Homo-oligomer: A and B are copies of this chain.
Amino acid sequence: MTTKWWIEGGTFLTMDDGQPIVNGHLVVEGSRIVYLAEAHPGALADGAERISGSGLLFMPGLINTHGHAAMTLLRGYADDMVLQDWLQNKIWPLEARFTAEDVRAGAALAAVEMLKRGTTAFVDMYDHMDEVAQVVEQAGLRGVLARGVIGLCSEAEQRAKLEDAIRFARDWHGKADGRIRVMMSPHAPYTCPPAFIEQFVQAAHDLDLPMHTHMSETAAEVEQNVRDYGVRPVEHLDRLGMFSRPTLVAHAVHLNDDEIALLAERGVAVSHNPASNLKLASGVARVPDMLRAGVTVSLGTDGAASNNNLDVFDEIRLAALIHKGVSGDPTAVPAYEALKLGTVYGAKAIWQSDEIGSLKPGMRADIVALDIDQPHYYPRTDLISHLVYAGNGRDVKHVWVDGVQVVRNRTCTRLDEERIAAEAAARFERLSSAT
């Protein structure tokens, strides 16, 4: 029997430009929204479980388009350091010791945090991805997952990694009622030799999958690319055929005008990670320029070791603030556009904009309810503005993914939060005590 439920008398931020705010009713049948309008749903609501929308603002679940969920285990382990020192002396040595169980524990902690802060879909690039996929399946999240690979190793090791990435795709793409999708993901141009990247592009063609990689995060990395390959990263990846596949690149901080134009032409989507880019002093991405050029820009938190939270609302607010301050234009990235980065454009960046990212009949029921009976939502001038400039993931009260309630009254329904927090704490103790 298909479950049917009805939000009665709520305020809906649809993220649908035709009517961004609807004060009315929403009905879900199974995994999809079947009704959203001001008028009473009439017979359509017959037999539906009724949920009061009073004091709540409903919006599409947020989409986090870049991260490494398991890195929650390293949250706060090393901060305020120079990037290479941070990576080489702190992060990489501990990551090298990660077991599958560590990845599962870290991903589970990430799942709790993301769901409770209103994120319903996320991109993940890491190792031991079977564990992450199992967490996604159990948590009820939507995941676009990739076995990320670094190619600075022997050809035999490269081959094993490629095979693992292909095997993971075959095992998991389309699983968990279609909530899991898979990408092919060479880590970055500076960590993967060109021939290795080409093998991934070929595999993506063979499996009909999109691609994901880190690109142009730091100025040094761009310089090195020019030194090693004679061109900047965008042209380099384009020559290797990557952009012949649907591609999502993370960071894209250091781009010139030609590169922005090429990304737009090739339909390459960008995951903008403002908190991570600021914290690691990578710089400020040219988001207003990219948006003007027609590039799809979405938002990512990056891993919790470089953020250090997984709250996409924080990224939305940062995106709305920093591009104004840095460009000197107070109209840059207005509130509604900032919200689109975390919803509509996020869905487009993971090729699911027909399914998620906005609330309207026919879309999947990935819905977040925020408690707006709080001082920072008063007076009732402009809910979009309140949400972006004063709101926060802690305002989230309920969350549904694919029609299923995964957070009720600020508590995960499918995950044991206490056990997961304790397990993460214990796993970190084990990892760090042996160093």
The chain A residues found within 8 Å of chain B, CB to CB, are: 72-77, 79-83, 86, 109, 112-113, 116, 275, 277-284, 304, 307-311, 318, 320-322, 324-332, 334-335, 373, 375-376, 378-383, 385-386, 389-390, 392, 394-395, 417, 420-421, 424-425, 427-429, 432
Instruction: Find chain B residues with CB under 8 A from A307 CB.
Output: 389-390
17 A-B contacts, Cβ less than 8 Å apart? A75-B376, A75-B386, A80-B331, A80-B335, A82-B330, A278-B322, A279-B389, A281-B325, A283-B325, A304-B390, A309-B390, A310-B376, A322-B322, A373-B421, A378-B421, A381-B428, A394-B394
- Is chain A's binding surface mostly helix, strand, loop or mixed? helix
Instruction: Find chain B residues with CB under 8 A from A282 CB.
Output: 325
Of A81, A109, A322, A392, chain B has the most CB atoms within 10 Å of the CB of A322
**Beta-carbon contact of A330 and B83 below 8 Å:** yes
The residue in chain B whose Cβ has the minimal distance to the Cβ of A77 is B381
**Beta-carbon contact of B380 and A425 below 8 Å:** yes
**Beta-carbon contact of B76 and A281 below 8 Å:** no
Known: A335-B80, A379-B429, A392-B394. A283 touches B328 (CB 8 A): yes
In whole Å, how far is A101's beta carbon from the nearest beta carbon of chain B? 14
- A-B pairs, top 9 by smallest CB distance, nearest first, are A278-B325, A379-B428, A394-B394, A80-B334, A76-B381, A76-B385, A281-B330, A308-B389, A309-B390
Complex partner residue of A330 from B81, B112, B275, B309, CB under 8 angstroms: B81
Q: Bound state CA distance, A421 and B372, in angstroms? A: 11
Known: A329-B281, A334-B80, A389-B309. A378 touches B424 (CB 8 A): yes
Q: Bound state CA distance, A168 and B421, in angstroms? A: 52
The residue in chain B whose Cβ has the minimal distance to the Cβ of A379 is B428
Q: Bound state CA distance, A394 and B394, in angstroms? A: 7
Complex partner residue of A392 from B304, B322, B382, B392, CB under 8 angstroms: B392
Instruction: Find chain B residues with CB under 8 A from A382 CB.
Output: 76-77, 79
In whole Å, how far is A283's beta carbon from the nearest beta carbon of chain B? 7
Instruction: Find chain B residues with CB under 8 A from A334 CB.
Output: 79-80
Instruction: Find chain B residues with CB under 8 A from A311 CB.
Output: 376
Instruction: Find chain B residues with CB under 8 A from A112 CB.
Output: 375
Q: Bound state CA distance, A417 and B324, in angstroms? A: 33
Q: Bound state CA distance, A273 and B395, in angstroms? A: 24
Instruction: Find chain B residues with CB under 8 A from A113 CB.
Output: 375-376
In whole Å, how far is A72's beta carbon from the nearest beta carbon of chain B? 7
The residue in chain B whose Cβ has the minimal distance to the Cβ of A427 is B379
Instruction: Find chain B residues with CB under 8 A from A428 CB.
Output: 379-381
In whole Å, how far is A358's beta carbon from the nearest beta carbon of chain B? 21
In whole Å, how far is A111's beta carbon from the nearest beta carbon of chain B? 9
Complex partner residue of A75 from B74, B330, B390, B420, CB under 8 angstroms: B390
Complex partner residue of A281 from B79, B328, B394, CB under 8 angstroms: B328
